[in-house]
Chain A
């Protein structure tokens, strides 16, 4: 998986933070559990258990954005070698390691281009104005995602390793469509 070698190099420099995750000693846990005793954290056995953990927040609400700062606390991963660590991190923050490794070679897609290629029920986005896109950015990205938007000049938001966002995601596209549909109604 792309990003594995990059992760290994970063871990060679010491423990790291990626979004809300603390990576130390080959294991993962929530950054706010950094100093928690190991015995106080529930061990997650596998990727399926991790997927269950990232699916909802503390209140049981679905997390449509993996970049949302609402990751549950109270768990720890097993001690993993770099390839497995990369797979676990790819569940927590899909694409993050690959995007970081690509760095300047990561293709960035402006929102206008994302909007233009939509079809079917998302064709509505062809009519999105910069103002409507800006409002959705405020609601979805600024209010609810730790990733750094490269496609609209967003600020670096996360501490630690880079958490890059090269293009408006499908959740953003869906939310933007909802507001366009509501404005038409």
Chain B
């Protein structure tokens, strides 16, 4: 339970198809159209004292703020708000600040589960996918992590992280790393689904789902693949303890990512490893938010 939050977005008017301009946020050289304040995270952690007891711990809300800023600057919505579970602004009263008659709520979560199915609907007072409250209609979209567009974001992230010296794709395995838990199948399901989609597209010889706390374990990557080149992308919304410390150790990296940032590649046991920051930090997630809004309209017949 590290990241909480998600922008609730509201469309102004007009056909929704206009939001699906490819590369709305990512055309040109990587991130060139994105204002400095929204660029991919600095290698230093965006909060100051990790590891202390919640809820006084600053939560890694940075990615959600950056995605919301991008959506605000796009001008596609009359209002863009962000809200969080433990950090202000809280989920609970964010809707009172929204003037617009039509509100889309998009969870900035990697999978569905306790928070998206129980906490967010309860705190926002949602009664289903569509909630009518006075003059307002509130549309509850799926979490960003579930959208097929995430596949493209993962592949672009893998390409970027290896851009300095791209490995031969025929000799490269891509690992998507999830947390893994016995409590909720949904969080692992989404990682398997993305890995399957990438295998179907076939840009790399292999693509595997792997987890920190359940089999197949990421620590066993050397047994999972025999290929000489490996790209590892954490399927998390925010960077934090897991992506800065736990996963690098499980991968066998010796570098301090928190201190040095995501420098690549890493020679490990005669192989070459590239390690990316959490996928949720990617500015293109703002496009996935839009894709989830469009997906909602298509599924629920919103004109």
> Quick one: closest B residue to A168, CB to CB?
B92
B55 at the interface (CB under 8 A from A): yes
Q: Give a binary string over B47-86; 1 marks a CB under 8 Å from any A CB, 0 the rest.
A: 1110001111110000001100100000000010100011
Q: Given A48-B65, A119-B118, A1–B97 Cβ distance below 8 Å?
A: yes
Taking CB atoms, residues of chain A closer than 8 Å to B300 are none
Asked if A171 and B49 sit within 8 Å, CB to CB, the answer is no
Asked if A65 and B86 sit within 8 Å, CB to CB, the answer is no
Stretch from A21-29, A49-57, A125-133 that touches the partner: A49-57
Task: Give the CA-CA distance A167 to B35 in the complex, in Å.
Answer: 36
Task: Give the CA-CA distance A65 to B55 in the complex, in Å.
Answer: 11
Q: Give a binary string over A157-176; 1 marks a CB under 8 Å from any B CB, 0 the rest.
A: 00000000011011101110
Chain B interface size range: 20 to 34
Complex partner residue of A90 from B56, B97, B118, B119, CB under 8 angstroms: B97
Q: Given A55-B58, A174-B56, A169–B90 Cβ distance below 8 Å?
A: yes
Q: Given A46-B37, A51-B65, A64-B56, A174–B86 Cβ distance below 8 Å?
A: yes
Task: Give the CA-CA distance A1 to B58 in the complex, in Å.
Answer: 26
A184 at the interface (CB under 8 A from B): no
Taking CB atoms, residues of chain A closer than 8 Å to B35 are 46
B89 at the interface (CB under 8 A from A): yes
Q: Give a binary string over A76-104; 1 marks a CB under 8 Å from any B CB, 0 the rest.
A: 00000000000000100011011100100
Asked if B97 and A95 sit within 8 Å, CB to CB, the answer is yes
B223 at the interface (CB under 8 A from A): no
Asked if B37 and A49 sit within 8 Å, CB to CB, the answer is yes
Taking CB atoms, residues of chain B closer than 8 Å to A66 are 88
Asked if B88 and A94 sit within 8 Å, CB to CB, the answer is yes
| Most chain B C-beta atoms within 10 Å of own C-beta, residue among A51, A117, A166, A170 | A170
Asked if B92 and A170 sit within 8 Å, CB to CB, the answer is yes
Q: Given A62-B49, A117-B122, A171–B86 Cβ distance below 8 Å?
A: yes
B82 CB, min distance to chain A CBs, angstroms: 10
B295 CB, min distance to chain A CBs, angstroms: 26
Asked if B96 and A106 sit within 8 Å, CB to CB, the answer is yes
B98 at the interface (CB under 8 A from A): yes
Task: Give the CA-CA distance A95 to B79 in the complex, in Å.
Answer: 14
A42 at the interface (CB under 8 A from B): no
Q: Can you add 11 more A-B contacts, CB < 8 Å, to A48-B65, A55-B47, A173-B55?
A: A46-B69, A48-B66, A51-B65, A55-B58, A62-B56, A64-B88, A99-B96, A106-B96, A171-B86, A174-B55, A175-B55
Nearest 3 Cβ contacts at the A-B interface: A174-B55, A94-B89, A48-B37
Return 18 A-B CB contacts under 8 Å, by A number.
A1-B79, A1-B97, A47-B69, A48-B38, A55-B47, A60-B48, A62-B48, A64-B58, A66-B88, A94-B88, A94-B89, A94-B93, A95-B94, A98-B97, A167-B92, A169-B92, A171-B88, A173-B55
